[in-house]
Amino acid sequence: MLNARPANFVAVILVLLMPLNTISQIKHAAQTKKMEQSSTNNKLIIYQMLPRLFGNTKTVNKPNGSIVENGVGKLNDINDKALQEIKKMGFTHVWFTGVIEHATMTDYSAFGIKADDPDIVKGRAGSPYAIKDYYDIDPDLAVDVKNRMGEYEALIKRTHANGLKVIMDCVPNHVARTYGSDVKPVGVRDFGQDDDTTQAFRAKNDFYYMPNQHFVVPGGYNPGGNDFKSPLKDGKFDEHPAKATGNDVFSASPSINDWFETMKLNYGVDYQNNRTPHFDPIPPLWNKMYDILHFWAAKGVDGFRCDMVEMVPFEFWGWVIPKLKAEHPALVFIGEAYNSSLYTKYINTGKFDYLYDKVGLYEAIRRLTCDQPNATTWDINHVWHNDSNGIDEHMLRFMENHDEQRIASHDFAGNPWCALPGMVVTATLATGPVMVYSGQEVGEPGAGAEGFGGDDGRTSIFDYWGVPEHQKWVNNGKFDGGQLSEEQKSLRSFYSNLLNAVHNNEALNSGSFYELMVANEHQPGFNTKLYIFARYTAKQRILVIANFNRSEQNIIVKLPGDLQHKLQINTSVEFTDILSGAKFFSHDINDGVTIKLPAASGMLLEF
């Protein structure tokens, strides 16, 4: 949820990285350890979409436009044809982002849903990460608002019927300032319902309070823009006593750059007194959050992407995840995490299956993709060297998601084709999941200022909007790519070929890893914008080469003697690129194999 803020917000994430090893140290570690890894886990290939955006065919795209003006996608738009096309691309899971009811400027009071005060809503549509009712579905997404839960249940069944699994959001750290469940199950107590609001902190409270203080809406906020009119738009919101804001702001007057639309939930940590934990007895919030996750798991959801997990104590995760997996053993938990020094703790103690790999592989590959002068592929070696202690297979890799800038935007690479080598590495480096964000596969640039979402290279999660390049693939609900250019069709074919190759080849989805940079650093044609490694099993071996150079490269790749022995090869070898069909031949593998790589490309050479 990192971009849940105005466009000028400068996010400050405290990333506690180990001190960087020098290149020579990394090389030495590679030479001595060989860095072989293997896993029997099935590789998750995840397609992330916001249903609000995915099926929307309106192309008006008026900044700060209403739901009527700009349109909105519905759960029912994600039909069998759409899901079949996603499945054909090689995906195994779909992350339906933003399906839970959240605060919005759209009035659904006619349906018994209390209207939200726009002064504490970000964007006309509202942030999907300002949850208003954890037991309900966003009414924007329903054709029949009264049957919104039924439409989501039908989508879960439809997704399963098309051979895909369902991931949805868990937003554990904060909720909308207007939170209140009107459809919660019998016996469930709402957040804050039993709080003692006279105490700033109390382990049994669900929220943190500023006693005797009124909440103050940040100055300078113009909700919905000048054209949006509402009697509730008065720069005020009645909250007394004021509650702490979601991004750990313990003040009645958060700034416009804070997550002022949300309230921080209390898991028993006294943040204002040295972060003192109070976990015995278990705080009531723990059981309330368990009940929520249990509710959705019982509907057939296969996994949860958990928002900002480092803002919630890992002791809670270590308690709730095993409890849920005892009931649903196949349930998957993915944590949005950025503090690499805590990764091992959140995996081993918190029991997460997977964590975001943003501060590692994403940032290394972004530098290379943007052709930054000091970027080298030794940065990738640094990532797997640090992750070689058993967490590599737990890292979720991506080049785009809803928080990050679009590859095709001027803020990133400016050209979606520059992502080819990075996506090859992202998808094949390890057995952990790989994720693609809806529109990435057709080069969506995220251009323009949508409203609350500024012109920042991202597709807004706050506003009603059509996603222009993605809409060309949607083709008015045909989901056949009928409006795509030939270049876009070619780009989408690359993603499909790559992801299907990962899905269908055991060397890539569950094989061991062998680093080949050290063995080739003195080879003719080698440079530090090339990345080389092998993935293999007893039945299959694949040489992976990524060329981040913006020009064609020729290199003679050597396989070291111990790898040849391990793979039982010592004679002539033919290599075939799974992605293009191109063939390369070595008459004597001891002399290596000569490979010609197009600019900004990657190869998966089976041999």
State the DSSP string of 288-300: HHHHHHHHHHTTT
Express the helix, strand and coil content of the chain in percent, nearest 5 each.
Answer: 30, 15, 55
pLDDT band, very low/low/confident/very high, at 387 (cuts 50, 70, 90): low
What are the strands of the beta sheet with 541-547, ordered from one edge? 512-515, 530-536, 541-547, 601-606, 573-577, 583-586
Indicate the pLDDT class of residue 36, thresholds 50, 70 and 90.
very low
- Find residue 166's DSSP bridge partners: 94
Measured CA to CA, the distance from residue 75 to residue 60 in angstroms comes to: 21
* Per-residue model confidence (pLDDT) at position 390: 76
Statement: residue 28 has pLDDT above 60: no
What is the DSSP pairing of strand 530-536 with strand 512-515?
antiparallel
pLDDT band at 23 (very low <50, low <70, confident <90, very high): very low
- Mean pLDDT, all residues of the chain: 93
Structure tokens, 134: 């954890």
Give CA–CA dist 502/507, Å, rounded: 8
Residue 491, classed as helix, strand or coil, is helix
Check pLDDT > 90 for residue 26.
Answer: no
**CA distances (Å), 260 to each of 50, 138, 174, 177, 387, in order?**
23, 21, 11, 8, 36
- Contact assessment for residue 337 and residue 318, using Cβ atoms and an 8 Å cutoff: no
pLDDT at 4 over 70: no
Nearest to 106 by CA among 215, 232, 221: 232
Mean pLDDT value of segment 282-304: 98
> What's the mean pLDDT in 454-474?
98
Least confident of 42-56, 131-145, 372-386: 372-386
Domains of the chain: 23-180+286-504 (3.20.20.80), 509-606 (2.60.40.1180)
410 has a pLDDT exceeding 50 = yes
Residue 533: both structure tokens together = 């490694």
For position 388, what pLDDT does the model report? 57
CA distances for 241 relative to 64, 93, 178, 259, 262, angstroms: 32, 43, 14, 18, 15
Percent of the chain residues topping a pLDDT of 70 = 93
Residues 319-332 pLDDT 10s: 999 999 999 999 99
Pairing of β 269-270 and β 276-277: antiparallel
Q: Which residue has the higher pLDDT, 31 or 544?
A: 544
Q: What pLDDT is recorded for position 21?
A: 38
The two three-digit tokens of residue 234, written as one number: 């008065």
Check residue 190 and report its DSSP letter.
P
Please report which confidence band the pLDDT of residue 2 belongs to, taking 50, 70 and 90 as the band edges.
very low
Residues 6+ apart with CB under 8 A from 160: 166, 300
Tens digits of per-residue pLDDT, 45-86? 999 999 999 999 999 999 999 999 999 999 999 999 999 999
Confidence bin at 29 (pLDDT 50/70/90):
very low
- Asked whether the predicted pLDDT for residue 158 surpasses 90, the reply is yes
Phi, psi of 165 (to 5 degrees): -105, 160
Tell whether the torsion through CA atoms of 373, 378, 382 and 387 is positive or negative: positive
pLDDT in tens, 334-378: 999 999 999 999 999 999 999 999 999 999 999 999 999 999 999
- pLDDT band of residue 570 (cuts 50, 70, 90) is confident
Q: How confident is the model at residue 384 (pLDDT cuts 50, 70, 90)?
A: confident
pTM to 2 decimal places: 0.94
Is the model's pLDDT at 132 over the cut of 90? yes
Q: What angle do CA 307, 313, 318 make, to 5 degrees?
A: 90
Res. 448: pLDDT tops 60: yes
H or E, element range at 544: strand 541-547
**Helix (H) / strand (E) containing 357:** none
Mean pLDDT of all residues in 20-34:
40
Average pLDDT over residues 92-109: 98
pLDDT band at 31 (very low <50, low <70, confident <90, very high): very low
